[in-house]
Amino acid sequence: MTLLTYRSAVARGIAQEMRRDPNVVFFGEDVAAAGGVFKTTVGLLEEFGPDRVRDTPISEQAILGAAMGAAMTGLRPIAEIMYSDFFAVCWDLVANEIAKSRYMSDGQVSFPLVIQCGNGAGLRFGAQHSQSIENWAMAIPGLKVVAPATAADVVGLMAAAVRDDDPVIFFNHKALYASKEEVPDGEIVDRLGRAVVRREGGDATVVALAAMVPRALAAAERLSSEQGIECAVVDVRSLVPLDTTTILAEVAKTGRLFTVEENPRLCGWGAEIVSIATEECWASLTGAPVRITTPHIPLPSADSLEDLAIPSVDRIVDTVSTALSR
């Protein structure tokens, strides 16, 4: 086992796949010589050289156009969009070309590519550099959508994403980069579309993603120690494909569902999970599902206001406690 930061896990996951498969290449803005703006790709250029690890011009459309072309010709590119917010300038390539061309060509062309990016708030970058946009991506047929919460998952899910023959958007959460955990040595290969139950509990099920997972776990510990409420916590990990089997099984055990997401409230992924749970296990529910989200506002830059907008441990505790007391 090795104590690994989430930040270092990004480079380890990419390096693992580049060592295994010479067709894996990696490129993006400042990912090579500088080791990434968040220092997530340090050492990749030195190990794999400039033919496989390349800096690009500041053009998200050029980066993703190159990734699409590389995938069409047999490579397995990993392309980095520095901030997920910048997907807004290249959705035509992602939504209309990368996501749909395999379907439109009747499978004659595949797109085994990964687009990784820094997602979410917590570093006070304001409305245009702090958004959590995984709900934008999950609405597009043809894309797979992954958002790991732990260093081990960064490595294992990156391996699964690179080996997948469909395009995968891989959301690394910026606020988790400094978090650490013991990660098994050697090759780690995970599976897309598998949620993980991080904590067992019989009173309520809390479903969370990425940076909301440690907050949900902290809230569950407080609810247990202070009020005797035992919450199961499910880490979704992959929105597309979505592991409804694990989520619904936990909801059926507890009868109560709470989703914790960083997205603005309107059309967040929590709404989809609540809808599925209502349709599929209505008879097991003993109370209305509850969504804990940010308000439907642009994220502010000010520390205090950003903290107020994003679901906090206190807000999760208060929401669950109040709902269960009714």
Say which amino acid occupies 9.
A
CA-based nearest residue to 102, from 25, 146, 161, 167: 167
* Beta strand 257-264 pairing with 290-294: parallel
Give me the residue label for tokens 């909301």.
212
CA-based nearest residue to 263, from 133, 145, 157, 168: 133
The H or E element containing residue 146 is strand 144-146
Please state, in angstroms and rounded to a whole number, the distance separating the CA atoms of residues 104 and 1. Answer: 45
Which residues, at least 6 apart from 39, have a Cβ–Cβ distance to it below 8 Å? Answer: 7
Query: Do 90 and 62 contact (CB within 8 A), yes or no?
Result: no
Q: At what angle do helices 151-163 and 6-20 cross, to 10 degrees?
A: 30
The H or E element containing residue 181 is strand 180-183
Give me the residue label for tokens 């959590």.
132
Catalytic residues: 129
